Amino acid sequence: MKRLLIILPLLTSLLAVQPLNAQNASAAQAVFEQANQLYAAGEYAQAADLYEQCLHGTDRKSRAAVLYNLGNARFKQGELAQAILAYERCLRLAPRHKDARYNLEIAQARITDNLTDNTSFFFAAWGRSLRDTLTEQVWTWMSVILFILFLAGILLFALSGQVILRKTAFHTAWVALLVSIIACCNAASLHSRDTHRSEAVITQGVLNAKASPDRSGTELFTLHEGTKVTVTESLGEWCNIRVGNNEGWVEAAHLERI
């Protein structure tokens, strides 16, 4: 009887979750539509504020759409860094969002800095580009499915008595294993990137990178609003960042993690 008394409140709370989530989603949708109306009317600042509110009550797919619209509103306001940040976050959730990627390229073209990385090999850049075409979840499922296909191919190769079938199973197995490993590596790379949040955007208009984590340190190079950097180390209120072939220290308050 005591177990029943304990279970009943738990069941009641679980049944209440779905209507509550539906109510939150409905409220977020109403705010999203209101924000769209403000954007259409040219009230970009108010629209951006409402888009920010929507981010707390939407699912993954809807959040990507909200971030895309938020980026557009910030871009219209002339807030280049916040627009780039929103587009980058949108692409983290929806890598195949063509409009977000196109608008991101337009926004990045307006960045003052032109710091290129001459140390990266072509295949490294191509590998990162391939990795970013899908989400971590998709790469993970692809790796699992292909590994199962690999096991099935090995089993068929071992049990089949037909030469043609054995050859087909063998070649299918090793190709599936190779692609499965690539997918697994991409999933692990994305997981590490999103867990450590090592990529950031400079949010201050003009920022001087220092040789040491100190305001009196030697100035190495200058960064401008909207520049995307990689954070390699954090020390108190300072971050060691890398952009192109350049590396230096900046205050953490002057950048925002993607």
Phi–psi pair at 79, nearest 5 degrees: -90, 85
In this structure, the answer to whether residues 163 and 203 fall within a common structural domain is no
Residue 179 located in a structural domain? yes
Residue 117 located in a structural domain? no
In this structure, the answer to whether residues 101 and 169 fall within a common structural domain is no
Q: What per-residue confidence (pLDDT) applies to 25? A: 67
Residue 50 located in a structural domain? yes
Q: What per-residue confidence (pLDDT) applies to 1? A: 44
Q: What per-residue confidence (pLDDT) applies to 119? A: 55
Residue 180 located in a structural domain? yes
Q: What per-residue confidence (pLDDT) applies to 34? A: 94
Residue 40 located in a structural domain? yes
In this structure, the answer to whether residues 160 and 215 fall within a common structural domain is no
Q: Are 244 and 115 in contact (CB under 8 A)?
A: yes
Q: Which of 177, 196, 215 lies at the terminal end of a domain, its last residue?
A: 196
Residue 114 located in a structural domain? no
Distance of CA 195 to the CA centre of its chain: 10
In this structure, the answer to whether residues 105 and 146 fall within a common structural domain is no
d(CA 6, CA 222): 62
Strand 199-202 to 238-243 pairing: unpaired
In this structure, the answer to whether residues 91 and 15 fall within a common structural domain is yes
What's 6's domain CATH number?
1.25.40.10
In this structure, the answer to whether residues 19 and 88 fall within a common structural domain is yes
Of the candidates 82, 86, 87, 74, the one whose C-alpha atom is nearest the C-alpha of residue 48 is: 74
d(CA 85, CA 74): 10
d(CA 215, CA 192): 31
d(CA 80, CA 94): 21
Helices (H), 41-162: 44-54, 60-77, 80-93, 98-109, 122-131, 136-159
Residue 115 located in a structural domain? no
Q: What residue has token string 């993970």?
A: 140
What's 233's domain CATH number?
2.30.30.40
Q: Are 84 and 228 in contact (CB under 8 A)?
A: yes
User: The dihedral of CA 5, 11, 13, 19: what is its sign?
Assistant: negative
125: left (phi over 0), alpha (psi -120 to 50) or beta: alpha
The residue ranges of the chain whose pLDDT is under 50 are 1-20
Q: What per-residue confidence (pLDDT) applies to 17? A: 42
In this structure, the answer to whether residues 64 and 38 fall within a common structural domain is yes
Distance of CA 35 to the CA centre of its chain: 23
In this structure, the answer to whether residues 8 and 102 fall within a common structural domain is yes
Token digits for 165? 């079938």
Q: What is the extent of the structural domain holding 204? A: 199-257
Strand 199-202 to 206-210 pairing: unpaired
In this structure, the answer to whether residues 65 and 142 fall within a common structural domain is no
Q: What per-residue confidence (pLDDT) applies to 16? A: 45
241: left (phi over 0), alpha (psi -120 to 50) or beta: beta
In this structure, the answer to whether residues 56 and 105 fall within a common structural domain is yes
Q: Which of 170, 196, 222 lies at the terminal end of a domain, its last residue?
A: 196
Residue 184 located in a structural domain? yes
d(CA 38, CA 35): 5
Q: Which of 57, 80, 109 lies at the terminal end of a domain, its last residue?
A: 109
Token digits for 174? 């090793």
Residue 77 CB contacts under 8 Å (≥ 6 apart), including other chains = 44, 45, 48
In this structure, the answer to whether residues 30 and 96 fall within a common structural domain is yes
Domain count, the chain: 3
Residue 237 CB contacts under 8 Å (≥ 6 apart), including other chains = 251, 252, 253
In this structure, the answer to whether residues 191 and 216 fall within a common structural domain is no
